[in-house]
Amino acid sequence: MWVCRHSSVVTPPPQKVAGHPASRFLPCIGVKKRDNIAAALPVQEHRLPMSNLDLLLPPLDVGVFFCYKNSLPLDESLNILKKSLAEALGPFYPLAGEIVQNNLAEPELHCNNRGVDFIHAHADVELKNIDLYHPDESVERKLVPRKKQGVLTVQVTELRCGGLIIGCSFDHRVADAYSINVFLAAWAEIAQSKSISSLPSFRRPMLNARHPPVVNTFYDKLYLPLSSLPPQWSCLPTNPLRSRIYYVEAKDISHLQSKSSFNENAKRSKLVSFTAFLWKLIAECEDGFNTCKMGVVVDGRGRMDRISFDKLSLPNNMSLSMQNYFGNVLSIPFGEANSSELKEMPLNLVAEMVYEFVSPAMTEEHFLGLIDWVELHRPEPAVANIYAKMDENDGEAIVVSSGQRFPVNSIDFGWGKPHFGSYHFPWGGETGYVMPMPSTKKNGDWIVYMNLLQKHLDLVETKGRNVFKPLTPSYLNL
């Protein structure tokens, strides 16, 4: 069951944006109703500790949204979404809880089934007139809601054209994108009366530290205890980052891959090639004496899937797989290079540098060592080095996080697949963030969300314009 709290807001007319084409609008959102959706099945109240890898995440919310050109009659669509969400929160019960502190002042999950805030909103605008290319203006706190409490907030926005936009905000300390992808796919499967294809596991012992933890100073380069940061350090940016959404055609991705490889028989991955191109591009606007950092988010599930679970007490014939693990299983290795050298290097050498700093993190031992490193520093919080600008003379830094497993074409609640979907992460720091995702066209194109300094976006749109094209309604066939 869910508790309904009704509020109505008069919806103002959509706003035209200065400097945007006359036909492009930003939606003004009117909230029609607020509900709270709890798990349909009873949840035994308990505390669920964060894993050591969860503890590396700061209190940040991540957004994701899906655009549907058509839907069922509105009341029917809303009822399907609410009912299926309540059912999905049974197996994904931590999403209906809230984060509290334990006696060490560390965050942990209170699984109390407080529910998920569910907002029904209206925008008097057609989908084709929403400026998705500038998500700071059109998406942030409009189509993707601001989460005020709990772990997850959902907003369903009805459009003048009969379409819907489903936006979610979730606490990154509870889940990484892989985990939320599994939840979103399960929610859609339940809405269509299908069985869930992947049930989540919340077994924290899967990510326990070794006994005793292994000391390895290698991780002192990747992560920093907060006490080691200079007094003036702050995550508040002096130059705010700005978000854009681009598309990259499959032929251009293949071209970058060819240029990044030494020969056709030993091709670099598309992600390494993309990252190398972006690193070289961003170095163009840096002073030749400065360095430029590039980080890549690595998911450890595939690296740890053969991990020994002998230390766990499990029923006979029960197997565990990290592919079902719900939480954060991430590391952020990075490379640092002189900007002037990056400018002069051929793309295949830059790609080799990317591969060299990423490949050590693509092992089971890397993640076991990272878990041990956190254990040795608890309960003091830590931060990824690439997010910490230690000195005002430090060069710029960017993190690339692959969204290629984003199941955008699977998020069908019964009225068809979305015409567009994207993550949205204007995190508020000084390190840029880039996520390439598959296009709904299923033709090998990528959708690329960027949250960068304006000077870097200017480079993307000048020197990188042959690769990065602004997202338009014509590309999405709206």
Residue 428 banded pLDDT, cuts 50, 70, 90: confident
pLDDT of residue 289: 66
State yes or no: pLDDT of 234 exceeds 70.
no
pLDDT tens digit string along 218-228? 999 999 999 88
Of 144-148, 294-298, 337-341, give the lowest mean pLDDT range: 337-341
Confidence band of 238 (pLDDT split at 50, 70, 90):
low
29-205 homologous superfamily:
Chloramphenicol acetyltransferase-like domain (3.30.559.10)
pLDDT of residue 17: 45
- pLDDT given for residue 460 in this prediction: 96
Query: pTM for this one?
Result: 0.92
Q: What is the mean pLDDT of the chain?
A: 90
Supply the pLDDT for residue 382: 95
Least confident residue range of 21-25, 205-209, 464-468, 470-474:
21-25
What is the 3 state secondary structure string of the chain? Answer: CEEEECCCCCCCCCEECCCCCCCCEECCEEEEEEEEECCCCCCCCEEEECCCCHHHCCCCEEEEEEEECCCCCHHHHHHHHHHHHHHHCCCCHHHHCEEEECCCCCEEEEECCCCEEEEEEEECCCHHHECCCCHHHHCECCCECCCCCCCEEEEEEEECCCCEEEEEEEECCCCCHHHHHHHHHHHHHHHCCCCCCCCCECCHHHHCCCCCCCCCCCHHHHEEEHHHCCCCCCCCCCCCCEEEEEEECHHHHHHHHHHHCCCCCCCCCHHHHHHHHHHHHHHHHCCCCCEEEEEECEECHHHHCCCCCCCCCCCCCCCCCHHHECCCCEECCEEEEEHHHHHHCCHHHHHHHHHHHHHHHCCHHHHHHHHHHHHHHCCCCEEEHHHCCCCCCCCCEEEECCCCCCCHHHCCCCCCCCCEEEEECCCCCCCEEEEEEECCCCCCCEEEEEEECHHHHHHHHHCCCCCCEECCHHHHCC
pLDDT value at 90 more than 80:
yes
User: 143-147, 211-215, 425-429 — which is least confidently predicted?
Assistant: 425-429
pLDDT at position 265: 76
Domain chopping of the chain, boundaries: 29-205, 222-306+325-476
222-306+325-476 shares the fold of 29-205: yes
pLDDT tens, position by position, 305-339:
655 444 444 444 445 688 999 999 999 999 999 99
345 pLDDT more than 70: yes
CATH of domain 222-306+325-476: 3.30.559.10
